[in-house]
Amino acid sequence: MTLADVSGLHVNMESLPATGDTLERNVPLIRLDSDDDLRNIYKFGRKLGQGSFGVVYEGTHIETQKKWAIKEVCRPEAGSPKVKMLEHEINILKQVNHAHIIHLQEVYITAKMIYLVTELCVGGELKQLLQRRKFFTEDETRHITYSLADAVVYLHKRNIVHRDLKLENILVRNSVVDDNGRINIKVTDFGLSVQTDGVGIENIMTEACGTLTYMAPEMMSGRGYGQWCDVWSIGIIIYILLCGEPPFVSNTKAKLLKEIMNKGVKFTQTVWATVSDAAKNVLTCLLKMDPAYRMSANQLLENPWITGDTNVPVLPSNVLEMMRHHLEQKDSKMVKLENCQFKVFISTELRLWTTCPPSPLRTRWTHSRSQGQRLQKMTESAGATLNSVLSQTPASAHLPHPPNW
């Protein structure tokens, strides 16, 4: 048993570009002479699951008796898409350390196989738990959403986009019964994940990938997408957790995109009558067709539905809404200022008219009895209106006294 020779793996084990406070963990990468050598380190137990990449078994470390999950993957041919996906998964898992992201302990390599040893999640997939429950309560969904959003915020701060968030890729850490009903989740399966150099236009992605039901519309359209595709997937997950079925269903990207554009998110099932308006509002903000108007994962964490603080005012759900809100406040202040100035002007004119001594100008305006009576009525009406307006004028708007003529 030796440390693996990176140059002979067909898998680039060098870390992807690190950004910010991302620190690569020291994950052992060990080459074994044969697959049987691993059986001398771990005792393989029950089969936990199987996917397109390989099989996952429960494994017990013989020396420490600690249980782990062992993902067994056939070594892909050099240059194949599976090589890229496998190296993405290993490289990213080497960089992350978060309570709600699966922990990679070590990697073993043989001539035919690659084994990823990760923490064991005895609760299985979140999808399996949902199938037994039919749907989750709002409190359970809120707890799951907080954990999921917290993990996605962590990834996005490191410019990592998962691109395949779905119920099958969320594991339940412990048995719900043994954990007092709390559902402790772990995000897993980073084979389709990418790490970009930031959120600039030069880092826009165009490759459509992931699972159709959870796929963001901008990813299906082919016009390019960024990390907000993960936020759309979170919205789909929340919707399914609350009612047991997805908001949009189709067997092709074109049909699904058309359904999203024409239908929008609806809450028609009977179960939605028991769900709060706050939860529905969050879903509406997450499942915006245009990612520019979509709530971010960080804004989701701060939403009153998640925090439970209903005294906090609901903030705009995205950057464009924040800009519009700011401009509306600015315009409102300008209107109030202009109204105040108008009040000052009207008040001054009326006071000048009613307090100034007779003048040739005033005499000409009131030379006839009928015109004088009409003017008096207009003045009385204007005075009543002014009194009403002035009663609503801020104290800071001091009205000037008319000059002495």
List Cα–Cα distances, 153 to 150, 173, 180, 240, in angstroms: 5, 20, 27, 21
The fold adopted by the segment(s) 2-119 is: Phosphorylase Kinase; domain 1 (3.30.200)
* CATH fold of 126-317: Transferase(Phosphotransferase); domain 1 (1.10.510)
Signed CA dihedral, 316, 320, 254, 230: sign only = negative
pLDDT at 53: 77
Q: For residue 26, what pLDDT is reported?
A: 86
Nearest residue to 289 (alpha-carbon basis) of 245, 248, 323, 246: 248
**8 Å CB contact between 28 and 3:** yes
- DSSP string spanning 172-236? E-S-TTTTTT---EEE---TT-EE-S-SSGGG-B----S-GGG--HHHHHTS-B-THHHHHHHHH
Q: Report the pLDDT value the prediction gives residue 19, as an integer from 0 to 100.
A: 37
330 is in an annotated binding site: no
158 and 95 Cβ atoms separated by less than 8 Å: yes
- Torsions phi, psi of 47, nearest 5? -80, 125
Q: State the catalytic residues.
A: 164
Q: How far, CA to CA in Å, does 145 sit from each of 170, 213, 305?
A: 11, 18, 10
Question: pLDDT tens digits, the chain, 405 residues: what are they?
Answer: 655 543 344 444 333 333 334 456 789 999 999 999 999 999 999 999 887 778 999 999 999 999 999 999 999 888 788 888 899 899 999 999 999 999 999 999 999 999 999 999 999 999 999 999 999 999 999 999 999 999 999 999 999 999 999 999 999 998 765 566 789 999 999 999 999 887 777 789 999 999 999 999 999 998 899 999 999 999 999 999 999 999 999 989 999 999 999 989 999 999 999 999 999 999 999 999 999 999 999 999 999 999 987 554 554 545 555 555 556 555 555 555 555 554 545 455 445 444 444 444 444 444 444 445 554 555 555 555 545 544 554 444 444 444 443
Phi-psi region of 232 (alpha: psi -120 to 50; beta: other; left: phi over 0): alpha
Radius of gyration of the CA atoms of the chain, in A = 33
Domain boundaries, the chain: 2-119, 126-317, 328-391
| 387 vs 392: CA distance, rounded Å | 9
Look at residue 364 in the predicted model and tell me its pLDDT: 40
At 22 the pLDDT is 47
Please report the pLDDT score of residue 208 as a whole number.
92
pLDDT at 360: 44
Does this chain's domain 2-119 share its CATH topology with 126-317? no
Say how far apart CA 220 and CA 6 lie, in whole Å. Answer: 36
At residue 2, the pLDDT reads 57
| pLDDT for 399 | 40
pLDDT on residue 166: 97
